[in-house]
Amino acid sequence: MALMLLLAGCGPSDERLVGPYLLAHIDSQEDMYLCYELPEGNCVGRIQKTVFAVGWDERYIVAKRHPDNDRKIVQYFFLEMEKDSVTGPMTEESFHQHARLLGLPAFSKTIRQLE
């Protein structure tokens, strides 16, 4: 299953955010994750399910997720695109500290049914 998430092909409901980065899911929206699209069309997972909010600018992508769709838990991440490097999971407080320090973008897209 994990390999399937890491190398899943891109599908018609996937959404390109910026550059090679997509919001994608395998079967249902509860599987929503952030991935990096390879030239042959496979998508390598960067932030696993269930991603429900993202934002981006020219340097960073930010994401909020409920791990495995557990809506009692919210984890925060940011991805530095130049390095293809993910930081997280972290708490809201820690995320806001990083956001102030690094000038991270605001969350601009929320999938309400996953929130």
30-44 per-position pLDDT tens digit: 999 999 999 998 999
Confidence of residue 47 (pLDDT cuts 50, 70, 90): very high
DSSP string, 69-89: G-TT--EEEEEETTTTEEEEE
- Helices and strands per DSSP (H, E), number in the chain: 2, 10
pLDDT score recorded for residue 14: 83
For residue range 70-115, what is the model confidence (pLDDT) as tens digits? 999 999 999 999 999 999 999 999 999 999 999 999 999 999 999 9
pTM: 0.87
Strands 85-90 and 8-9: unpaired
